[in-house]
A and B are shown apart, each in its own frame.
Chain A
Amino acid sequence: MLSDAAVQRIQEIVKEYPNTKSALVPALYVAQRDAGGWLPREAMVEVAEELDLPESHVYSVATFYSMFYLKPIGENVIQVCTTSPCGLRGANEIVDCFKKRLGVGLNETTADGKFTLMEVECLAACNVAPMAQINEDYYVNITEERVDEIVTMLGRGEKPPYAEFAQNLKGAHPIAFTDAELGIDVSGIKPADPVVKKEKPAEAAPTEAK
């Protein structure tokens, strides 16, 4: 079921490591993007084949990390941070606003499949609380009005202006994308002048280890 593009990206990632097992987490992101936001069993099996790993190992890793979904999930995943520093600044109230606006509870998906609401732990953005990770982005300083606007715009397939990150990756991790897809183009950058060596060698001379 993995597309050729996905297999190609996985093979590109494998080259960055001395052993293929290291590419497993990135490969699972590629598979998750390819399968539409979650990891069906067949996708994990194919990753196992692609990386020549036991299926059981792939499954054990996929279940360890919170960012892999083993069941279908909403098109938009709203994850409000409610750890204490955010809790002090109204995070729980923001969760309530989302529940009310979406008509779902935590870990539930709306009937139209558009939104899943979740609670997550500290996202290292406690300075801009209350905040949420929505798809690939952080939404910061959320207020009740913004909840409404965020849901309305995402529901229409638009990206709300409170996002910090300009690209729309539909929730997939950027590691699953090629440079070209991410718009990384460095063709205009010229190589820097070489350095002029002053007597000392670049290689560290072996000295006694401590």
Chain B
Amino acid sequence: MAYEDEPKIIHQHINVPDIKKIDVYEAHDGYQAWRKALSEMSGDDVLNEVKASGLAGRGGAWFPTGMKWSFMPKPVFPKYLVCNCDESEPGTFSNREIVIKHPHILLEGFMLGCYAIGCNHGYIYVRGEFMQGYATLRRALAEARARGYVGKNVLGSGFDLEITLHVGAGAYICGEETALLSSLEGDRGQPRLKPPFPAVEGLYAKPTSVNNVETLSNVPFIIGQGAAAFRQWGTEKAPGMKIVSVSGHVNKPGNYEVPVGTSIRKILEEYAGGVLGGKGIKVFFPGGSSTPMLTPDKLDTPLDPQSITAAGSILGTAGLCIFDEDVDVVKVTHRLLRFYKHESCGKCTPCREGNDWLVAILNRLAQGRGKDGDADLLVDMATNIAGRSFCLLGDAAATPVLSSIKNFREDYEKHITNPIEEKVFIPLTSGNGH
């Protein structure tokens, strides 16, 4: 079946013209799940339905959403729901497409989430660079308020709900949930010690759930159609669909919403049009730049958290980036480490200093002025960052170093004397319009 004809959840109507306008969204069953929840379900009913669906966090950690919500102590008020729209993991771009094209599906999911946990004022944290996304959401929120879906006594149900759009200002670390909360409180975006977990002490030290855009955008379907309908796709352990962001050396980069467990090869060859120029693949990462690189013998792995873990990586955000056979992995790792060095928040020593040193050594390899044993030195340093930094950013930075040296140690040896060759222009093929 052509990709366009396959069933979808979030993307079902995403390309309908003007779906970002409330009347068009409503004409496509929009806000029916919200009405259904308010008229015939309690907050607990919504929570239980989400639990039964097996929905797990799409922000990368795949933690069961219903369980996360149920951890919030009931008798403490106020409680907060915070939507994480900080999307900045290299190779990941599903949230941005949702907010610029289909803002109401996120708002409806967010409303349902607030209702499920008993939150009367929720915040959507939008990455600073997503100015168009922010403006689109702001317009959509104003429309939803005019319809009475947000505000005091929503649709006469007795439930009060306010939603505020908050903005970041350029910092990858603010995607980490506790750093996001610091940022939302008006501080530098630095992570906080866990425990206490946000479910107990989050925003303004109150019980808080932080959920990703894509996670919440699945909720209207789950409430509208039921948990069983959601479970018709995906695997027993990870039901539903996942939007896979395909980038790099492919003919049709873009977002593809597929049942969890679809094989990587199918996504790459049938949907993303195969590798640019029909070349072979050197390496790919399956879930954003923070997930270990895999070699092409792993292409038949089903894209679900358990199978990807068994293959030696992590599903993460399902940001699938393909590197063709001519790519120099040292160059790729060098560039990624510059990213992590730049984005380290500076709070803890292993990440702040360690990334600096990793980049220093990669710099000399890039110039062909490396030293014997540099690969071992990199491994030693990366191993000492991973697991020893304050938050997972340190682990994420160690990942490309460790996984590339594991698979391609000879490339590192080569650069002890040979500089990285100057870039080769890659002929442009336009994106697939996503």
A150 interfacial by beta-carbon distance below 8 Å:
no
Q: Tell me, rounded to whole Å, the shortest Cβ–Cβ distance linking B102 to chain A.
A: 15
**Complex interface bits, A179-204 against B, C-beta within 8 A gives 1, otherwise 0:** 10010101001111111111111111
Residue numbers in B under 8 Å from A203 (CB-CB): 42-43, 118, 158-159
Query: A97 vs B23: C-alpha distance in the bound complex, in angstroms?
Result: 44
Question: Is there contact, CB below 8 Å, between B167 and A121?
Answer: no
Question: Is there contact, CB below 8 Å, between B71 and A210?
Answer: yes
The interface residues of chain A, by DSSP majority, are classed as loop
A174 interfacial by beta-carbon distance below 8 Å:
yes
User: Which parts of B145-179 form the interface with A (CB within 8 Å)?
Assistant: 145-149, 155-159, 164-172
User: Which parts of A148-204 form the interface with B (CB within 8 Å)?
Assistant: 164-165, 167, 169, 173-175, 179, 182, 184, 186, 189-204
Question: Is there contact, CB below 8 Å, between B138 and A182?
Answer: yes
Residue numbers in A under 8 Å from B31 (CB-CB): 192
Question: Is there contact, CB below 8 Å, between B129 and A133?
Answer: yes
**Which of B130, B149, B186, B335 lies at the interface centre, i.e. has the most chain A CB atoms within 10 A of its CB?**
B186
Residue numbers in A under 8 Å from B166 (CB-CB): 22, 25-26
Query: A129 vs B249: C-alpha distance in the bound complex, in angstroms?
Result: 11
**Complex interface bits, B336-351 against A, C-beta within 8 A gives 1, otherwise 0:** 1001001101000000
Residue numbers in A under 8 Å from B245 (CB-CB): 126-127
Question: Is there contact, CB below 8 Å, between A197 and B428?
Answer: no
B25 interfacial by beta-carbon distance below 8 Å:
no
B201 interfacial by beta-carbon distance below 8 Å:
no
Query: A133 vs B100: C-alpha distance in the bound complex, in angstroms?
Result: 15
Question: Is there contact, CB below 8 Å, between A200 and B45?
Answer: yes
Contact of B39 (CB < 8 Å), options: A85, A121, A198: A198
Question: Is there contact, CB below 8 Å, between A89 and B248?
Answer: yes
Contact of B255 (CB < 8 Å), options: A87, A127, A186: A127
Q: Tell me, rounded to whole Å, the shortest Cβ–Cβ distance linking B241 to chain A.
A: 18
User: How many of chain A's residues have a CB under 8 angstroms from any CB in B?
Assistant: 81
B311 interfacial by beta-carbon distance below 8 Å:
no
User: How many of chain B's residues have a CB under 8 angstroms from any CB in A?
Assistant: 101
A104 interfacial by beta-carbon distance below 8 Å:
no
Q: Tell me, rounded to whole Å, the shortest Cβ–Cβ distance linking A8 to chain B.
A: 18
User: Which parts of B46-76 form the interface with A (CB within 8 Å)?
Assistant: 47, 67, 70-75
Residue numbers in A under 8 Å from B156 (CB-CB): 194-195
Residue numbers in A under 8 Å from B289 (CB-CB): 83-85, 122
A99 interfacial by beta-carbon distance below 8 Å:
no
**Complex interface bits, B78-96 against A, C-beta within 8 A gives 1, otherwise 0:** 0000000001111111011
Question: Is there contact, CB below 8 Å, between B171 and A84?
Answer: no
**Complex interface bits, A8-31 against B, C-beta within 8 A gives 1, otherwise 0:** 000000001111111111101100
Question: Is there contact, CB below 8 Å, between B90 and A207?
Answer: no
Q: Tell me, rounded to whole Å, the shortest Cβ–Cβ distance linking A198 to chain B.
A: 4
Q: Tell me, rounded to whole Å, the shortest Cβ–Cβ distance linking B288 to chain A.
A: 9
User: Which parts of A69-106 form the interface with B (CB within 8 Å)?
Assistant: 82-85, 87-90, 92-93
Cross-chain pairs A/B with CB under 8 angstroms, 25 sampled = A16-B164, A19-B185, A21-B186, A22-B185, A25-B128, A61-B188, A67-B129, A83-B335, A84-B332, A89-B253, A93-B423, A122-B90, A126-B245, A127-B246, A128-B430, A143-B428, A167-B135, A173-B128, A174-B135, A186-B145, A194-B156, A200-B40, A204-B74, A209-B70, A210-B71
* Contact surface of A with B, Cβ cutoff 8 Å: 16-26, 28-29, 53, 60-61, 64-68, 82-85, 87-90, 92-93, 121-130, 133, 136-138, 140-141, 143, 164-165, 167, 169, 173-175, 179, 182, 184, 186, 189-210
Top 5 closest pairs, chain A to chain B, by CB:
A204-B43, A194-B156, A66-B170, A65-B169, A21-B186
